[in-house]
Amino acid sequence: MRVQLGLGLASLIAAGSVHASVLTVNPNIISDNITTFSSISSAVNFADTDVNLANTYDVQIASGTYVNDFALVTRPMTIEAIGGSGVTMQANGQLLQSQGIIVIPSSFIGNANTGLTVKGITLQGAAISDALGGNGAGIRDQAPGGTTLRVENSQFIGNQDGILTAGSNYQEKIEIVGSTFLDNGSGTGQTHALYVGDALSLLVQNSLFCGTLEGHDIKSRAMSTTVQGSKLFDGATGAGCNSAGTTSFSIEATNGGTVKIEDTDIVQGSGTHNTTMVRFGSDGLFPNSTLSIINTNFDNSGVNGVGIQAPAGATGCTLQNTNFNGVNDGLQRSHLDPGSRSAGRTDDTR
């Protein structure tokens, strides 16, 4: 049940006034359920009641661990940690709508300049049974149309999927900045640290991926995929991560598109279950697909695999200042049929 609007706020909205609201979540203070709340879900539900997209909401969460305190986000807002010592949204045996810890449903109302921003939150333990799909996510994003999901300085730990998005018909922008993905994946090969479905664009910047089980560090079906200044570990450890995992691909852009990997380190070790590190266009290519890899290091410690795999007929693959250490084939033209890929297929939601 959603919290009802306070009389003052209701009259502002009714009059069409524009306002900016900070909603504080702190279970240790007395809540008025208008500006202060005892749970994340109640604060988010309160913001959701406002359909005036000109109004802004900033849900600020006090430090602590919030167990099974989920967020169903149906309008643009920011959800962020305050207080310095961290906020963890912990799933323990259940999920919102059997989907995620934070869920953006297909009923989300936004526009090209709005969406959900998540800052400084740890999302941990999202899991559901195979009977329910086996795709529990830290963030499950089904926003339609041209909105934006931006995640800053957050952590995704031990989820079946760290982030799982689909349903925008190649209009949504996904931005992941300064974030960490540790030990995600269920081991089925159908779950990933980061899976982006039919989005317009994906940007991953200054982020760390490590310990992924069987799935990919990054799997993208977006029309544009950019990975910058990041570190990806595939069956190897380093940079503060202790579990090697059994990653399949560090990065897979299944349908090509405009793909750019820049200033990034990709490290593969003996724990990998697929000796290819980056795969491009395995399910057919968007028109005019290009792959650019700039100032990037491919380091292989023990399996002597393939740096980049692309279809034999793919064009527009360029490498600049890219190093391959311990890799048998830097760029392998595979037997994969590049085909042609229309922007209408959305059958793969994992």
Specify if 344 maps to a domain: no
57 contact partners, CB below 8 Å, separation of at least 6:
20, 21, 23, 47, 50, 75, 76, 77, 78
Q: How many CB atoms lie within 10 A of CB 167?
A: 20
Specify if 81 maps to a domain: yes
Distance CA 322, CA 295 (A): 5
Total domains, the chain: 1
Give the pair of three-digit tokens for residue 111.
């526009």
Single out the residue of 179, 236, 239 nearest to residue 212, CA to CA. 236
24, 108, 120, 164, 198 from 48: Cα distances, Å: 15, 10, 21, 22, 25
Instruction: Give me Rg for the CA atoms of the chain.
Output: 21
Domain that holds residue 95: 21-26+58-334
55 contact partners, CB below 8 Å, separation of at least 6:
13, 18, 19, 20, 21
Distance CA 156, CA 38 (A): 24
Specify if 14 maps to a domain: no
Tokens 């799982």 sit on residue: 164
Task: Identify the pLDDT of residue 239.
Answer: 81
DSSP three-state, residue 234: strand
Specify if 37 maps to a domain: no
Distance CA 92, CA 201 (A): 32
DSSP three-state, residue 348: coil
Specify if 166 maps to a domain: yes
Specify if 127 maps to a domain: yes
Q: DSSP labels for 92-136? A: -S--BTTTEEEEE-TT----TT-EEEEESEEEE-----GGGTS--
Listing from the earlier edge strand, what are the strands of the sheet with 64-67? 64-67, 87-90, 121-124, 155-157, 180-182, 208-210, 231-234, 265-268, 297-300, 323-325
pTM: 0.91
DSSP three-state, residue 195: strand
DSSP three-state, residue 291: strand
Task: Identify the pLDDT of residue 219.
Answer: 98
Specify if 117 maps to a domain: yes
10 contact partners, CB below 8 Å, separation of at least 6:
none
Task: Identify the pLDDT of residue 327.
Answer: 92
- Contact status, residue 172 vs residue 165, Cβ threshold 8 Å: yes
Element (H, E) at 46: helix 40-48
- The CATH code of the domain that includes 163 is 2.160.20
In single-letter form, the type of residue at position 217 comes to D
Specify if 10 maps to a domain: no
25 contact partners, CB below 8 Å, separation of at least 6:
36, 37, 38, 39, 40, 43, 59, 60, 61, 62
Distance CA 222, CA 75 (A): 23
Q: What is the pLDDT along the chain (350 residues), one digit of tens a residue?
A: 333 444 444 444 444 567 899 999 999 999 999 999 999 999 999 999 999 999 999 999 999 999 999 999 999 999 999 987 799 999 999 999 999 999 999 999 998 889 999 999 999 999 999 999 999 999 999 999 999 999 999 999 999 999 999 999 999 999 999 999 999 999 898 899 999 999 999 999 999 999 999 999 999 999 999 999 999 999 999 887 888 999 999 999 999 999 999 999 999 999 999 989 999 999 999 999 999 999 999 999 878 889 999 987 777 899 999 999 999 888 887 644 444 443 332 233 33
Give the pair of three-digit tokens for residue 328.
């048998």
